[in-house]
């Protein structure tokens, strides 16, 4: 490690900054949410589905039948809803990102103060200390025992000492010491721009859910193209001179095959999740993180700053036998004065002492790191002598079994944070430092447990989510805190005692809940070990020692008051530092994923029965039974409105792998049943003469009644487990169709004729038979695949 070797640089002047801004040498970054407003509008308007619907709408409007073009409203609805929700999500992400992002300290005109990242210009002098993120690429100008962790970029596990002249890259972070570097690459040329574009991008990549929906859409596309082409040919060949009838029949067959609402509701559910979490001061930096929330089955929590509050209070200074208290206080004052960027513990100690009147000359310094668990400084005591004061973990600095070590263990067992202060045998910059330490005193610091921590841990236990507490603190202290929170564990394991063998290490992590004295790289290894055992792991933390584990976890959750480096790599940031927000975060993820799976059943069923019905019409070479307006009203209350409401409902079931398989298990058989029941009804009521307009309208109405009864029962099955509002939703849907079929105004408007009692009875009976078969399918699926068949739930699930 190297101390500062150059005089302080005043940085750029105001005139030099203005000149660089004029030249465009500013750190302009991509939008925090990844897409501009124009991008969002384009992405929601110019979609493949909107294009298909628009083409069909033009064909229908060409016939002069405006009422049959009602499905065209879906284009505007899909686009408007998608744009509004994504813009809300963008606004939430951008506003929260401003609060949560790192604000680098820039020195200009000899004065250092915090600026937004976008205000950095080329050649700016940026000051850094422990936990600070390197936000742009640069060259070190000042180094005061500066060490930078580049493992996220290079994979190198050990921090790199940085001397003046050394290069630093954005994406790395400071683990110890202090210094300043000059920005050499800003904006799009900096590696930070790439990180920003990827870290906060509003996208659905790397998502099992999205991959599953894409697979379903791919299958639907392969079915839609040949069936659609065959339908067009059959309808045109049968229409003769009545091209208008052929076009309307073709549109009536093709429109329901398009799963127009599935993609929309998926995007809306994710965007609404971002907004809801934003209202709880929770910043979602990667949209797929919402899906990760639903799949988490193990939470790894750091103790300090997560289970306990970030700040500490000074407890007492317990001077050991025969040591003058004034000597210890002088040593602590000088340690505090020599630390340019003290950590929370040193800040607490310094606040309790009177500042030193005279500073001792510093010969060498050793900043604190989580790996070595101590810090110190070597001071000049006289012309030919020096003294090295150190402070850190008693179980690291004190001899095992010594009086100081035993007393420290007793205090730690009470949940207190205990530090040992003493003098070291070797200078602190010696490779063998600190050598033998002469204990002088124990410093006792009080940690306040978060008042909501116990309830939060109880929530995870009730939900079947495992908890692992992994802390760099003394194992006895960690164990005392976790026991007070109700975490059941025989004992806290000192991570230094864990086996070196990877398999034995993984087994120990799997079967132990509380760990102390964990190094940053052990935290990372623990996350990896749990993932190897098939767990989906969330990691919470606030310190620079948590960065590696946060990055590797399936879901990294950082505290808003934590270091800039932790906030940068985490997928979710709790801006208000409330650990109790996590249950709401998990519940939101489960709501989004569970409900998307629920409504996907509705859309897949509709697409299956629409495609099969079109295929049957092609094979039997009969006129298509519906007009586009009939397709529109069928979708209103069996899919559209119910699916939107179901996508917003609470859902606390943990997401499981196998999304596509589960959707296919119900969607395919239900679609086949509805299609067969509908087509059989159509064949039974189809008049001998296809030119009899009145008889064809009666046949269409009876067939429509069949498909609505069967499709409504699909809705009734998908809505389970029932709650009062879900029962009301199904009943209202049924009553709405009863009104449409019985009111003369709607009969005329939607081209319905219910006057043929025999045809209507046939349609209703066929629909009820289809409903019964769908119900039987639901029970058989549950029995075959061991899926829960909960029929009723008395209360709305929420947290």
CA-derived radius of gyration, the chain:
34
∠ at Cα 429 (425, 435), nearest 5°? 25
CA–CA separation, 304 vs 453, rounded Å? Answer: 12
* N-terminal to C-terminal alpha carbon distance within the chain: 50
* Token output for 493: 């394991």
CA–CA separation, 786 vs 781, rounded Å? Answer: 8
CA–CA separation, 333 vs 248, rounded Å? Answer: 87
**CA dihedral of residues 183, 187, 190, 192 (deg, nearest 10):** 100
Distances (CA, A) of 263 to 43, 50, 591: 12, 11, 17
CA–CA separation, 134 vs 124, rounded Å? Answer: 13
Residue 554 burial class via C-beta count within 10 angstroms: exposed 0-12, middle 13-18, buried 19 and up: buried
Cβ 738 vs Cβ 764: under 8 Å: no
CA–CA separation, 408 vs 428, rounded Å? Answer: 23
Strand 493-494 versus strand 111-114 pairing type: unpaired
Residue 757 burial class via C-beta count within 10 angstroms: exposed 0-12, middle 13-18, buried 19 and up: exposed
Complete DSSP assignment for 192-204: HHHHHHHHT----
CA–CA separation, 426 vs 436, rounded Å? Answer: 8
280: number of CA atoms within 13 Å, CB side?
A: 23
CA–CA separation, 779 vs 376, rounded Å? Answer: 69
Give the residue numbers marked as catalytic: 302
The residue whose two tokens read 């049957």 is 616
The residue whose two tokens read 């921090």 is 159
CA–CA separation, 785 vs 788, rounded Å? Answer: 9
Residue 744 burial class via C-beta count within 10 angstroms: exposed 0-12, middle 13-18, buried 19 and up: exposed
Cβ 535 vs Cβ 298: under 8 Å: yes
User: Crossing angle, helix 260-279 and helix 208-239, to 10 degrees?
Assistant: 150
Residue 625 burial class via C-beta count within 10 angstroms: exposed 0-12, middle 13-18, buried 19 and up: buried
């Amino acid at each position: 490690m190297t101390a500062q070797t150059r005089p302080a640089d005043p940085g750029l002047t105001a005139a030099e900054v203005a000149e660089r801004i004029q030249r465009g040498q500013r750190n302009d970054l991509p939008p925090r949410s990844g897409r501009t407003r124009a991008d969002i509008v384009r992405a929601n308007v110019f979609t493949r589905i909107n294009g298909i619907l628009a083409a069909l709408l033009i064909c229908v409007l060409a016939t002069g039948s405006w009422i049959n073009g009602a499905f065209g409203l879906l284009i505007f609805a899909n686009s408007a809803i998608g744009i509004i929700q994504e813009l809300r999500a963008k606004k939430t992400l951008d506003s929260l990102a401003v609060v949560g992002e790192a604000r680098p300290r820039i020195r200009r005109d000899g004065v250092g103060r915090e600026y937004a990242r976008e205000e950095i210009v080329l050649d700016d002098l940026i000051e850094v200390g422990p936990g600070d993120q390197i936000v742009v690429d640069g060259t070190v100008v000042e180094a005061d025992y500066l060490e930078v962790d580049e493992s996220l970029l290079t994979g190198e596990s050990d921090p790199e000492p940085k001397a003046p002249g050394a290069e630093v890259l954005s994406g790395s972070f400071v683990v110890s010491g202090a210094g300043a570097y000059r920005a050499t690459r800003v904006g799009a040329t900096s590696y930070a721009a790439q990180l920003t574009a990827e870290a906060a991008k509003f996208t659905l990549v790397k998502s099992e859910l999205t991959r599953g929906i894409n697979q379903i859409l791919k299958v639907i596309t392969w079915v839609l193209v040949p069936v659609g082409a065959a339908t067009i040919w059959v309808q045109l060949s049968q229409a003769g001179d009545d091209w208008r009838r052929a076009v309307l029949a073709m549109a009536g067959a093709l429109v329901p095959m398009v799963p127009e609402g599935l993609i929309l509701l998926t995007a809306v559910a994710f965007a609404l999740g971002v907004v809801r979490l934003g209202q709880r001061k929770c910043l979602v930096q990667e949209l797929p993180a919402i899906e990760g929330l639903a799949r988490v089955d193990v939470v790894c929590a750091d103790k300090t700053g997560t289970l306990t509050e970030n700040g500490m209070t000074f407890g007492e200074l317990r001077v050991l036998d025969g040591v003058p208290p004034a000597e210890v206080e002088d040593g602590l004052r000088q340690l505090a004065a020599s630390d340019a960027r003290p950590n929370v513990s040193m800040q607490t100690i310094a606040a309790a002492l009177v500042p030193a009147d005279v500073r001792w000359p510093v010969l060498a310094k050793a900043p604190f790191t989580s790996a070595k668990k101590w810090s110190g400084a070597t001071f000049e005591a006289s012309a030919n002598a020096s003294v090295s004061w150190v402070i850190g973990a008693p179980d690291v600095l004190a001899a095992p079994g010594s009086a100081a070590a035993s007393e420290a263990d007793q205090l730690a067992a009470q949940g207190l944070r205990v530090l040992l202060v003493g003098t070291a045998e070797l200078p602190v910059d010696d490779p063998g430092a600190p050598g033998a330490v002469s204990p002088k005193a124990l410093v006792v610091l009080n940690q306040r447990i978060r008042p909501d921590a116990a309830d939060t841990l109880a929530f995870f236990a009730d939900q079947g989510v495992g908890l692992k507490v992994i802390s760099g603190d003394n194992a006895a202290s960690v164990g005392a805190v976790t026991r007070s929170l109700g975490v059941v564990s025989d004992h806290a394991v000192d991570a230094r005692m864990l086996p070196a063998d990877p398999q034995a290490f993984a087994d120990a992590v799997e079967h132990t809940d509380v760990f102390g004295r964990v190094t940053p790289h052990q935290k990372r290894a623990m996350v990896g070990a749990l993932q190897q055992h098939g767990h989906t792991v969330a990691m919470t933390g606030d310190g620079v020692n948590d960065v590696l584990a946060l990055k590797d976890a399936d879901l990294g959750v950082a505290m808003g008051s934590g270091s800039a480096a932790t906030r940068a790599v985490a997928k979710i940031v709790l801006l208000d530092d409330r650990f109790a927000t996590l249950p709401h975060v998990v519940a939101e993820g489960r709501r989004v994923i569970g409900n998307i799976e629920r409504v996907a059943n509705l859309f897949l069923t509709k697409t299956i029965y629409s495609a099969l019905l079109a295929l049957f019409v092609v094979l039997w070479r009969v006129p298509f039974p519906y007009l586009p307006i009939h397709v529109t009203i069928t979708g209103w209350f069996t899919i559209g409105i119910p699916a939107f409401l179901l996508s917003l409902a609470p859902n606390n079931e943990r997401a499981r792998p196998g999304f596509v398989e589960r959707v296919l298990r119900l969607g395919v058989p239900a679609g086949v049943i509805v299609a067969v029941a509908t087509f059989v009804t159509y064949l039974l009521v189809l008049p001998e003469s296809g030119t009899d307009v009145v008889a064809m309208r009666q046949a269409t109405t009876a067939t429509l009644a069949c498909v609505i009864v069967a499709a409504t029962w699909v809705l009734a099955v998908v809505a389970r487990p029932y709650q009062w509002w879900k029962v009301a939703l199904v009943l209202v849907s049924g009553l709405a169709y009863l009104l449409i079929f019985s009111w003369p105004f709607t009969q005329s408007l939607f081209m319905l004729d219910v006057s043929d009692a025999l045809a209507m009875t046939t349609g209703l009976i066929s629909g009820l038979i289809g409903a019964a078969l769908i119900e039987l399918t639901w029970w058989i699926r549950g029995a075959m695949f061991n899926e829960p068949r909960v029929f009723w739930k008395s209360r709305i699930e929420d947290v």
